[in-house]
Amino acid sequence: MTPPLRTALLQSSGKLSDVGQNIEILDDAARRAALAGAGLLIAPEMFLTGYAIGDDVHRLAEPADGPSARRLGAVAARHGIALAYGYPERGAGGETYNAVQLIGPDGLPLANYRKTHLFGDFERAYFTPGDTPVVQAELGGLRLGFLICYDVEFPENVRAHAVAGTDLLVVPTAQMQPFEFVAESVVPTRAFESQLYVAYVNRIGTEGEFEFVGLSCLAGPDGIAHARAAKGEELLLADADPELLRASRAANPYLADRRPELY
């Protein structure tokens, strides 16, 4: 029997444009999460640099195997915990992607996903959209998948993960007012309709024109938020349980009962 994967959700915005300080924040969160028995720590969208940082998005962008990834690999290995964090990725042609990287508990990279659905004028001005809809990795007996913020609001994206066998969907987020209902209602619905866990990890506070709403959660396949943050800084802990997945999928066989030839 596969044990639950204790998952730590770091609801924070770190320090804008200060990569070194944000790595230190991740180091401390990884230490605390590991001591609490977590096997995975997830940080919000663009956590490494900050979200609303203007041209610093391009200045601070790094390749997936850049210096920050190597430093965070050392953090993961030191604490024996996997890390998923949002950052601006510099592509081979100089383009910038809004990305999330997963580093394993041995310090080695496991997956890198580029946001496919960019939100609003700000993101379209600074980022190139990714073109790979489903990126996955294995961790702790579960299959992890990755989306970023606005991506999860498209049911097609989540269903593609469900069909591909994702058990825990990791969603670093920069969700702002007036869209609290996405965190409160849409995310648990996505988890239920596609029968998987969704770890939705948000920023907090104000950055430029954006006021982030917090409300991070781990939503289960039963449509329930098994842990829910408020609107301040928080390290939230909850379990992604393979046994609940198995039982819920048996009771709610949406994937087996689909008729995709009609859609």
Q: Is residue 19 part of a domain?
A: yes
SS3 string, 137-166, reads: EEECCEEEEECCHHHHHCHHHHHHHHHCCC
Q: Is residue 139 part of a domain?
A: yes
Active site residues: 45, 115, 149
Q: Is residue 262 part of a domain?
A: no
Q: 1-52: per-residue pLDDT in tens?
A: 899 999 999 999 999 999 999 999 999 999 999 999 999 999 999 999 999 9
Give the chain's count of helices (H) and strands (E). 9, 14
Q: Is residue 202 part of a domain?
A: yes
Q: 79-112: per-residue pLDDT in tens?
A: 999 999 999 999 999 999 999 999 999 999 999 9
Q: Is residue 100 part of a domain?
A: yes
Q: Is residue 261 part of a domain?
A: no
Q: Is residue 10 part of a domain?
A: yes
CATH number of the domain enclosing 241: 3.60.110.10
- Residues spanned by the domain of 12: 5-252
Angle at CA of residue 50, ends 44 and 52, nearest 5°: 110
Q: 157-186: per-residue pLDDT in tens?
A: 999 999 999 999 999 999 999 999 999 999
| Cα–Cα distance for residue pair 47/132, rounded to 1 Å | 22
Give residues with Cβ within 8 angstroms of 204, minimum separation 6: 11, 12, 13, 212, 214, 231, 232, 233
172 phi and psi angles, rounded to 5 deg: -65, 140
- Taking the model in full, what pTM does it have? 0.98
By the 10 Å C-beta count (0-12 exposed, 13-18 middle, 19+ buried), 93 is classed as exposed
Question: Domain total for the chain?
Answer: 1
Using CA atoms, how far residue 36 sits from 39, 79, 152, in Å, is: 9, 11, 28
Q: Is residue 260 part of a domain?
A: no
Q: 175-234: per-residue pLDDT in tens?
A: 999 999 999 999 999 999 999 999 999 999 999 999 999 999 999 999 999 999 999 999
